[in-house]
Amino acid sequence: MDEFMRSYLKAGNTVVSNYLLSNFHRVGLTNDELIIYLIIEKQREQGDRFPSSKLIAEETGLSESKVYELLHEMIQNNLMEIKTVKHADGKSYDQYSFERLFEKLLQSANHEVVKQQQTNEKMDRETIFAQIESEFGRPLSPIEYETINQWLNDDHYAPEMISLALKEAVLSQAYSLRYMDRILLNWEKKHLTSVSQVQKEEERQRNNGLDPSRHDRRNQNGEKADLTGPKIPIYKISDQ
**Does residue 228 surpass a pLDDT of 80?**
no
Over residues 127-148, mean pLDDT: 94
Signed CA dihedral, 52, 58, 59, 60: sign only: positive
CB atoms within 10 A of CB 98: 19
With DSSP H G I counted as helix, E B as strand and the rest as coil, what are the percentages for the chain, rounded to 5? 60, 5, 30
Tell me the average pLDDT of the chain: 84
119 vs 113: CA distance, rounded Å: 10
pLDDT at 202: 85
- Rounded CA gap, 28 and 23, in Å? 9
CA 214-219-220 angle, to 5 degrees, is 150
**Residues 198, 166 contacting (CB under 8 angstroms):** no
Of 1-5, 110-114, 193-197, give the lowest mean pLDDT range: 1-5
Span of 11-15, 55-59, 61-65 with lowest mean pLDDT? 11-15
Count of helix runs (H) and strand runs (E) in the chain: 10, 2
% residues pLDDT > 90 (the chain): 62
Asked whether residue 208 carries a pLDDT value surpassing 90, the answer given is no
Q: For residues 127 and 51, what is the distance between their CA atoms, to the nearest angstrom? A: 56
